Structure 1
Amino acid sequence: MNTALILHHYLASPYSEKVRCYLGFKQLAWQSLLMPPVLPKPDLMELTGGYRRAPVLQIGADIYCDSALIIAELEQRSLLPALASGPQAAQANLLGRLFDVDIFWRAARYLMASRVEHIPQALLDDRIAMHPQLPLQKSQLLADQAQLTIQLRALIDQLDQALSGAHFLGGINPCAGDFAVFHTLWFLQGAHALEALAPNTKVILPWMARIAAFGHGEMSSITASDAFAVAKHAQPVALGEMQDFLFKAGQKVAIQPEGYPQERIAGELVYLDEQKIVIARQSTACGLLHVHFPRMDYEIRAV
């Protein structure tokens, strides 16, 4: 069975950087397949059935969506070095979730507002369609810029205090929360905005340097046709007995990420528990695929 890790991503994607740094921490070998930052993404859609965001991890005929699920899956498969656990790590993981679902989007809107006249219209139109619930029109971005600046400065100052005296948010070793918090600040730093928001930070930049020092693991490239061939010649991994949760194995369902009304991924339910959802779908190019989603932030509905 082909167990090579194939990461479908794009270089400027913060959530992809989160996973790339984790791959570096684990010192894992992986294959890179770049996707465009905006639609259309036909190669990705062939694998996911409609999920469009980066990154997506492919292992044989198993397709893992969402950066949090990707890290959780890899942590189970590759035990050492292990992410930090315990009470401190649990608190940091909650902070990481806050960055993933809220603070990142404040940072993204702040950057868009500060560069509103230079954003490619195709990118702006794509993000408006992708996030209709967010105020992403140019006039809205400019109106919110001052407030977003104040909010981010306060949040980064609190993070600086939280990191005081700590090697990582998780303690001596990083936890999942370290990587989740890091990618938002990496996004700001890459746009030369972090220094303006945190001119007096004492510990954030050294902490970021420690995470960046993990690198990205051992990367090689793969083509879409080769990735499809890997999937077609593989079988999805065997799954345990699913829990009920008012759904039955074999039932036709649709998965929709919360806040992404344009994304709806249909398939046959093959596994469900408190942590993840797995659906089966047939692809013309790839054969039988199992597409995995986290329970958190994803809705499952019968169709």
Structure 2
Amino acid sequence: MPAALILHHYQASPYSEKVRAYFGYKQLAWQSVLMPPVLPKPDLMALTGGYRRAPVLQIGADIYCDSALIIAELETRYPERALASGPLAAQAALLGRLFDVDVFWRAARYLMAGRLEHIPQALLDDRIAMHPQLPLQKAQLLADQAQLAIQLSALIQSTDQALAGADYLGGSSPCAGDFAVYHTLWFLQGAGALAVLAADCSALSAWMARVAAFTTVESSSINAEAAHALAKNAKPQALPTMQDGLFKRGQPVMVQPEGYPQESVAGELMYLDQQKIVLARQSAACGVLHVHFPRMDYEIRAV
């Protein structure tokens, strides 16, 4: 029997919604472990060794960080109802990456500027510490609000044009890029801002409804202690043979998202190729774990 899919997430997390919508499209059963939106996150750290962002997917003793890698891994494991591929999907993947790494934070700053009096100071302080490279101070957010609205509206209008005459960015069925673009617009929609920024975007509105219909709730909910116990009683999945290059299997390394040194994860390199990095680490609560990261937007360094 295959190991359960356990998603460590929180309800308001846009990147988690990206994976939740994907679960719905694939009609996959999954279990939910809720995490707080701000530090401390000791239960998550027991699994990841330092990576703090949502979502994280646990499959037995294998821990998958980053929503893009989670979807890529599940596509390999569950080929039924496959995501679209081909030229349109490749173009959509580029658009999806733009939304993942750039447009989302424009949207977040725009929404923060409009709701400064409602944002808990602890949440704002947490995001400033998490993203020191972004202008998240209150005065700067207010100063940037009008410009961000213009930028977001232009990007959304372009996305609407890309969807003209098509059900999805991938064509007649969704591709990974559809889910990557969707989560930022879901974030804006939930705050009531998308209707303002996407006025007269009829193709985009219809597409939003189609993707939103995939979103599913968890099949069951468990607590972090139960998830840790499942990890401790499991063994990581066997990995392919790794080709030695700049790094060798068994070498002590450090992995971190680019620009976020506070999220560094140390471990023993188990696998490395052009798509992903896998570290082995020992957790007191969870035993031996394999922690998986995408190669794109992540740095690996020898220790």
TM-score by length of 1: 0.98
Alignment of 1:1-303 (within 5 A): 3-216=3-216, 219-303=219-303
Q: Whole-Å Cα distance in 1 between the matches of residues 58 and 280 of structure 2?
A: 14
Code of the residue aligned with 1:87 in structure 2: it is P
Question: Structure 1: where are the runs of 5+ without partners?
Answer: none
Structure 1 residue 217: Cα displacement: 6.0
Residues 107 and 184 in structure 1, CA contact (< 8 A), matched pair in contact too: yes
Residues 32 and 218 in structure 2, CA contact (< 8 A), matched pair in contact too: no
User: What number of residue pairs does the alignment pair up?
Assistant: 303
Structure 1 residue 263: Cα displacement: 1.0
Further displaced range: 267-276 or 200-209: 200-209
| Percent of residue pairs identical | 78
Q: Give the secondary-structure state (helix, strand or coil) at the position aligned to 2:207.
A: helix
Code of the residue aligned with 2:117 in structure 1: it is E
1:111-156 superposed Cα distances (whole Å, 9 cap, x missing partner)? 0111122211000000000000000000110111111011011111
Q: Whole-Å Cα distance in 2 between the matches of residues 238 and 158 of structure 1?
A: 43
Structure 1 residue 203: Cα displacement: 1.2
Q: Give the secondary-structure state (helix, strand or coil) at the position aligned to 1:216.
A: coil
1:249-297 superposed Cα distances (whole Å, 9 cap, x missing partner)? 1110000101212111000001101100000000011100000000000
TM-score by length of 2: 0.98
Q: Whole-Å Cα distance in 2 between the matches of residues 2 and 74 of structure 1?
A: 12
1:68-100 superposed Cα distances (whole Å, 9 cap, x missing partner)? 000000000000100000001110111001100
Cα-Cα RMSD = 1.0
Code of the residue aligned with 2:41 in structure 1: it is K
Code of the residue aligned with 1:270 in structure 2: it is M
Q: Whole-Å Cα distance in 2 between the matches of residues 249 and 274 of structure 1?
A: 15
Code of the residue aligned with 1:125 in structure 2: it is D
Structure 1 residue 2: Cα displacement: 5.4
Residues 163 and 169 in structure 1, CA contact (< 8 A), matched pair in contact too: yes
Q: Whole-Å Cα distance in 1 between the matches of residues 134 and 212 of structure 2?
A: 30
Structure 1 residue 218: Cα displacement: 5.2
Q: Give the secondary-structure state (helix, strand or coil) at the position aligned to 1:126.
A: helix
Q: Which stretches of structure 1, 4 residues or longer, exceed 4 Å deviation after superposition?
A: none
Question: Structure 2: where are the runs of 5+ without partners?
Answer: none
Q: Whole-Å Cα distance in 1 between the matches of residues 243 and 24 of structure 2?
A: 34
Residues 5 and 57 in structure 2, CA contact (< 8 A), matched pair in contact too: yes
Q: Whole-Å Cα distance in 2 between the matches of residues 294 and 149 of structure 1?
A: 31
Q: Give the secondary-structure state (helix, strand or coil) at the position aligned to 2:125.
A: helix
Residues 26 and 217 in structure 1, CA contact (< 8 A), matched pair in contact too: no
